[in-house]
Amino acid sequence: MALTLPTAKRRLAQAWFFGAGAVAAQLLVLTLFGDQASVRTLWEGWFAPGVMPNLSLIVGVLVADFRNSQPGEEKANAFADAFLFKLAFWLSCTYLTLMLLTLLASPLTEVDFQTDLNNSRYFLAPLQALATAALGAFYVGGKTKE
């Protein structure tokens, strides 16, 4: 069954807001009960740059779609490009899961928390770039005429 473009956009938004929310919930726990010296770095230097660009892109697209829609406009004939949607969705889910696992696994490592955050940039930054590129490709050209 083909996925409509509005449904695909909503699913990507749900994945990002759910994933970022799960990471933010863990950060809140760390903020309340963890090392207070690393709180600012955690939120401003790690979380915000890790999720805000993509969340801003998603919200911007949703707002633009809402503003550009005409009352009663039928969008049922616009279908999402399945490959671009799946690529953006799974790269996004993988990225957000690894962000959460970085926080959850840190107490199990031999190094301090700040080192774990710094080391996570080696694998999170390239994956974030791929997820962002896939989101951009989907939003720019992610429709088909099925």
**What pLDDT score does 114 carry?**
86
Q: Is the pLDDT of residue 75 over 60?
A: no
Token readout for 49 is: 């740059």
- pLDDT, one tens digit per residue, over 116-137 is 888 999 999 999 999 999 999 9
Quickly state the pLDDT bin for 1 (edges 50, 70, 90).
low
Alpha carbon 129 to its chain's center: 11
Question: Which among 111, 132, 121 is positioned nearest to 46, based on CA atoms?
Answer: 121
Residues 6+ apart with CB under 8 A from 104: 26
| pTM of the predicted protein model | 0.89
Alpha carbon 24 to its chain's center: 12
Alpha carbon 90 to its chain's center: 10
Specify the long-range contacts of residues 59-66, CB closer than 8 Å, at least 24 apart. Answer: 59/13, 61/9, 61/139, 62/9, 62/13, 65/6, 65/9
Alpha carbon 84 to its chain's center: 15
The C-alpha atoms of residue 77 and residue 66 are separated, in whole angstroms, by: 17
Q: Which one has a higher pLDDT value, 22 or 140?
A: 22
